[in-house]
Each structure stands twice: as structure tokens, then as C-alpha cells.
Amino acid sequence: MSVVLLMGVVWPTVTACTPESGGVAGMTLDRAGRPAVVVAWCPGKAPDSIYLYTSDDLAPEVTIRLQAPAKFPGKMIEVPITSPPVGWTADPPAPVLDSARVYSVYAPVTGSEYTSRGPRFTLGRLRGDGWILVNEYDQEIDRYVDLYIRAADLVRRADC
């Protein structure tokens, strides 16, 4: 009985810390061969920024924030991490990615509980020619696996 009571108290606290998914993000190489994040979102949950951060045990930790001038337009957007579009701001300016690091990416909606989550990746796992890297949990092997999908599949995975 005490375990059930404890779960009733702890579970809402744990789940309250994780923003609700409002879309999905993936990684690709754009036509110029630059690493780019591709974000698809649910109606009314358009992000306005992208965060890329180191997801490994190496020092120093790195966080790159790309801020759009407004909410993202449409249903999907592709943004080169190291060369954001005109009107965007990057912190730090002119971000550089290290091929030896593992990164993660997400696109939150500022002032909201929604976020578009993306994969863990290294630069060497990125492909171009329209292939977008996402990670998906495989229950049979009990771990996340890389999947390469197209833009239409990313939009479907936004899970609206």
C-alpha cells in the first residue's frame, strides 16, 4: 500500500518535469553538406528556437541556441546549425560542432510546455539527400536505434 501511495505522490512530480511533445526533430546534412536540424510540429505548437547540446561525458559541455525571429512558419523547417538563416541569432555566434562529440537536439515553444524532441547523434551518422536521422525505441532489443526517414515521415511522427 505504501508503494502505491508513494507512486501517487511521486509520479505526478516526475511527469510534470517533462514538457509535452508538440512535434519531432531530426538531423540531416543540407545540400551544402552542413549539419541541419529538421523540425515538424503539431498545429498551434510551432517552436521558435532550437537547442543543440552535448550528450556525452566529455568536457566542456556545449549548448548552442538558435533563436528564430518569430514562431516557425508552416508545418516543418530545416535549419543549418552552423549557419542559421538571416534574421536568426546563434548563441554562441558562429557555432562549431566537433565530430568526436555526441549531441542531442530539441525545439521548444518558448513560454509553453511543448517541445519537439530530436535524436542523439554524432556528425558521422548524418546523411544527406533528404534522409533525416531520428532515434526510436526498439522494445525487442530494449534500446534506441537510428532510423533514416524522409520529410513526410517526420511530419507523420509529429504525433499530433
Per-residue pLDDT tens over the stretch 17-32: 555 667 899 999 999 9
Cβ within 8 Å of residue 124, ≥6 positions away: 99
Query: Grid cell 511543448 — which residue?
Result: 114
* 3 state SS of 115: strand
SS3 per residue for 15-47 = HHCCCEEEEEEEEEECCCCCEEEEEEECCCCCC
pTM metric for this prediction: 0.83
pLDDT tops 80 at residue 49:
yes
Q: Which residues pair with 38 in a beta bridge?
A: 26, 78
* Mean pLDDT calculated for residue range 118-144: 95
- CATH of range 21-158; options 2.40.128, 3.40.50, 2.60.40, 1.10.260: 2.60.40
End-to-end CA distance of the chain: 37
User: Please, are residues 96 and 82 in contact by the beta-carbon 8 Å criterion?
Assistant: yes
Q: For 82-101, how does the pLDDT look when each residue is reduced to its tens digit (9 = 90+)? A: 999 999 999 999 899 999 99
Find the mean pLDDT for residues 31-42: 95
Q: Please report the pLDDT score of residue 135 as a whole number.
A: 93
